[in-house]
Amino acid sequence: MTALTLERMRADVAEMLGEAPEDIGNDENLMDLGLDSMRVLGLVLAWGNTGIALEFGHLAEHATLGGWWSVVQRLQNRGTADA
């Protein structure tokens, strides 16, 4: 499986919002940009296909791409440690 990257996450969020990836900063509040819970759930499902045990609650605790990336890195490292 392909590891989830910050670049893919940024591109996927940008696509959901109809924005260019370079317009999505790591510290921008994604909810303020128009991302709602249903879209977040869609991202969770898509990103879960990369093999990490990502859940909606993991992302709901954070409102920025940088916060989400920290969660993903932690989950990816946990998965590597379990292997």
Domains and CATH numbers, the chain: 6-82 (1.10.1200.10)
User: 16: Cβ–Cβ under 8 A, 6 or more apart, which residues?
Assistant: 35, 39, 42, 43
Task: Give the predicted TM-score (pTM) of the model.
Answer: 0.89
Residue 9 banded pLDDT, cuts 50, 70, 90: very high
Q: Please tell me the distance from the alpha carbon of residue 1 to that of residue 9, in angstroms, as a whole number.
A: 16
Give the pLDDT confidence of 45-70 residue by residue, as tens digits: 999 888 888 999 999 999 999 999 99
